Amino acid sequence: MSDAKPPSGSQKTGEPAGTTVADLGSRSKKSIKKLSRGGGRLLKDLEALLAQLKADAVVANGKVRAVVVVVKEKRRGMRL
């Protein structure tokens, strides 16, 4: 479904890490447009990912200030 990388902060000083990067892979242009409008299957995948991060206590404990979502638009095939 997705590839979320855990936060990487300075462990020596005990400061909270800044960000977590969630890669949702390649999706169609239509799916990305639905996400930007606040709907669609991609939004449900994102909500599931955030719930998983909260369950793993990555986001809930204040370790992360931001979650960056990366979605790449699929390339369309050659049409003749």
pLDDT reported for residue 75: 84
Are residues 5 and 52 in contact, defined by beta-carbon separation less than 8 angstroms? no
pLDDT reported for residue 17 = 60
Query: Who wins on pLDDT, 76 or 73?
Result: 73
- Per residue in 3-22, pLDDT (tens digit) is 555 555 434 444 446 778 88
Q: What is the pLDDT of residue 9?
A: 46
Residues 34-60 have pLDDT tens digits of 999 999 999 999 899 888 888 877 776
What string of DSSP letters covers the chain? --EEEPP---TTTTPPP-EEEEEEEEE-HHHHHHHHTT-SHHHHHHHHHHHHHHHTTSTTTT--SEEEEEEEEPPPPP--
